[in-house]
Amino acid sequence: MQVSEYAMLTNELNQMAALYCGVLSVENNPPDESEGNARVPTHLTLDEASTGSYTPLTSEQINTISALPYISSTDRRYMTAGYSDVYDRMDDRNPLYDFAARIVIEGTVSELIEDEWGGMTIRISDFAQLAGRNANTGSASYFELYSYMENPDQYEHYMHPLIIGDSRASVIYYRGGHEYGYHQLSTMNIGERYVIVARVSVDNMRTNYIGDYLTDAWCEAVWLIEEESHDYLDLEKYASLRELIEITNADIHTFDIVYTENMNAIPKFAGGMMAIEEGRAITHNDGITDTPVCVVSTEFARRNGVSIGDKITFAIGSLLFEQYLNLGAIAGTHERYLPPENEITFQIVGKYTFTEGTNARSRSPHFGYSINTIFVPVSILTVDESLLSNHAFAPGEVSFVVDNARDIRSFIDESIPIIDGTGLTFLDFYDGGWLDLAEEFEVSTQLSMIKVVSLSIATVAVILFIVYIYITRRKKEYAIMRALGTPKKIAAKSLAYPLFILAAISIVIGIGVSWIYTSIAMSSNNTGSFLPQNSDGVTIYAGIAVGCLLAQALMILVFTSALLIRNGNQPLLLLLQSGKVNNKMTSSRSAEKVRKHV
């Protein structure tokens, strides 16, 4: 049973090693995660894919780390936009700036309401929403917009949040010198019809604020259309507004398509901040399948009523974007927008979930994903080759993998110190808890091996002793049978059969005990409860125990045969004399006990 236990521990450790890997991430210089920067990214310039808040990893640096000892693979991740008219981009409920929270409203100004804080509420009646989501329509008869400040120039040196609500807030920012303040809006005429670009702050009041600093440079936020016909958007002078409406409506149907060879190599998954809740992750093998597969968030699946095995279709964009939690692959502005080119149908093979809260995720936006992220195999990426070769990788877009869990300790000891000499900063290394687990298993395995060796030695000694005593004490019987003319083989069998019968009974009992012990041991083993279930496990481990019992029976047979052969080669007179000696010794010991008793 101890041998079975040792085999069980060793097999489970091997199985668990196949489920673990080491994941390394590095960076040149850490991005500015302070307030007003990475966490509230008002500094973003959306005329390019990068936020410019970090130093990208060069190809040379990536190749240097990939060549380190024990690094077996490198996962380079890319992101494009995926468009769908069927599914809506979801509110991720994080405190970061919501780039998709833009609306475009057409309506007639019915009231201008000043307040004591220098702001103004514009009440719009007979309104229609031309683009966007999350608009607070108030009552059915009017819609309200707000301009918060009377003097926007007071914020000229930095971008100031006009409102930050609860953890679901969509932070609203204006640049210094923002023109849509109190003075400009007070000139609006009641009864005239306007198109207004605004942003929605998802705070407790769900206020809609006029203007959007992302588009102020190329599209006005307030358009007077009082004298225009119903098809005014077709006119050339409204080209920028028409484009803004198209981009805004595309953004609310845009999802972040992330291409990867191995989801387990993504730091958030390797570190346990994200996990597969149902189904499986994207792996290397998905690159050779005929059917494109994907892994979606549990929230996406819940809201859209899809499950494992269902198929979803997206039109894939041709631009590569930087991994950034709250920006994702939405356009936001016309420099980042291209209509989709290639439509692909994916089969859902897994659902992921987050194990950390939204606030925790917002603290590392360069490594974060949202509920709008959809993971797909990198093999289906079809963007232009020049974009791939010139792509600047953020630290969160590249990870280096030690696939063999047994190499993790050696990698930490030998390779991590080398990183300091490359000019890079060691950021994180995740092993999923392998080192702690392996250490526990190693201690258990060593103890089990000690038990196996000790019990094996003891077993051999006991078998030798029992067989020797049994055969030695029956030498006289053997000699008498021989003296009466019984052949050697028959005389030997008459001595051996009782011993073999006892051994057979012991083996049958041992098989039953081994089966019960192995079943209980496997059912009560929590360490390997997450391992792939093996219905033959009890049979295998019980079989090992049975094999050990059979080995013991074989030892009994060998030792018995050796002693019987030895007896058969000795003269009968010597066997009888040894029997007498034994009897005399026994009688002497008995007489001595009687004298002591008396």
Per DSSP, the residues of 151-194 read -GGGGTTS-EEEE--STT---EEE-TT-S-SHHHHTTPPTT-EE
Please name which of 39, 8, 125, 1 lies closest in space to residue 528, comparing C-alpha atoms: 8
Q: Residue 242's pLDDT band (boundaries 50, 70, 90)?
A: very high
Rounded alpha-carbon distances, angstroms, from residue 339 to 82, 97, 277, 336, 587: 10, 24, 33, 10, 108
What's 114's domain CATH number? 2.40.50
pTM over 0.75: no
Same domain? For 416 and 462 the reply is no
Q: Residue 6 falls within a domain, yes or no?
A: no
Q: Residue 7 falls within a domain, yes or no?
A: no
90-120: pLDDT as tens digits: 988 776 677 888 889 999 999 888 777 667 7
Q: What is the 3-state secondary structure (H, E, C) of 560-589?
A: HHHHHHHHHCCCHHHHHHHHHHHHHHHHHH
Same domain? For 456 and 536 the reply is yes
Compute the distance between CA of residue 287 and CA of residue 260 in angstroms, rounded to an integer: 10
- Continuous segment of H or E residues that includes residue 110: strand 102-114
Q: Is the pLDDT of residue 63 over 60?
A: yes
The per-residue pLDDT of the chain, averaged, comes to 76
Q: Residue 16 falls within a domain, yes or no?
A: no
Q: Residue 330 falls within a domain, yes or no?
A: yes
Instruction: Give the pair of three-digit tokens for residue 63.
Output: 């190749």
Same domain? For 553 and 571 the reply is yes
User: Of 432, 460, 495, which residue sits at a domain end?
Assistant: 432
442-460: pLDDT as tens digits: 766 677 677 767 777 877 7
SS3 360: helix
| Predicted local distance difference test score (pLDDT) of residue 24 | 93
Same domain? For 458 and 577 the reply is yes
Q: Is the pLDDT of residue 68 over 70?
A: yes
Tally of residues, the chain: 598
Q: Residue 141 falls within a domain, yes or no?
A: yes
Q: Residue 46 falls within a domain, yes or no?
A: yes
| Weakest-pLDDT range from 208-217, 229-238, 398-407 | 208-217
Please name which of 391, 324, 428 lies closest in space to residue 57, comparing C-alpha atoms: 391
User: Of 195, 210, 245, which residue sits at a domain end?
Assistant: 245
Strand ranges inside 280-379, DSSP E: 293-297, 311-316, 342-354, 373-377
Give me the phi and psi of 458, to 5 degrees please.
-65, -40
Same domain? For 106 and 205 the reply is yes
Same domain? For 427 and 439 the reply is no
| Weakest-pLDDT range from 2-6, 139-143, 360-364, 419-423 | 2-6
SS3 112: strand
Same domain? For 394 and 447 the reply is no
Same domain? For 259 and 387 the reply is yes
Beta bridge partners, 109, equal: 124
Q: Residue 161's pLDDT band (boundaries 50, 70, 90)?
A: very low
| Predicted local distance difference test score (pLDDT) of residue 10 | 66
281-312: pLDDT as tens digits: 999 899 777 789 999 999 999 999 999 999 99
Instruction: Give the pair of three-digit tokens for residue 249.
Output: 């409506």
Which has more confidence, 339 or 472? 339
Q: Is the pLDDT of residue 260 over 80?
A: yes
Q: Residue 182's pLDDT band (boundaries 50, 70, 90)?
A: low
| Weakest-pLDDT range from 434-443, 490-499, 529-538 | 529-538
Same domain? For 400 and 344 the reply is yes
Q: Residue 8 falls within a domain, yes or no?
A: no
Same domain? For 344 and 388 the reply is yes
Identify the domain containing residue 336 by its residue range.
Answer: 21-94+252-432
Number of Cβ atoms within 10 Å of the Cβ of 143: 25
| Weakest-pLDDT range from 491-500, 517-526, 585-594 | 585-594
User: Of 406, 432, 458, which residue sits at a domain end?
Assistant: 432
Q: Residue 5 falls within a domain, yes or no?
A: no
Q: Residue 515's pLDDT band (boundaries 50, 70, 90)?
A: low
Considering its fold, how many domains does the chain have in total? 3
| Predicted local distance difference test score (pLDDT) of residue 475 | 73
| Predicted local distance difference test score (pLDDT) of residue 438 | 74
| Weakest-pLDDT range from 383-397, 467-481, 536-550 | 536-550
Q: Is the pLDDT of residue 499 over 80?
A: no
Residue 177 gets the label, from left (phi > 0), alpha (psi -120 to 50) or beta, of left
Q: Is the pLDDT of residue 167 over 60?
A: no
Average pLDDT of the residues in 567-579: 67
Same domain? For 42 and 127 the reply is no
Residue type for 176, please? G
Same domain? For 303 and 451 the reply is no
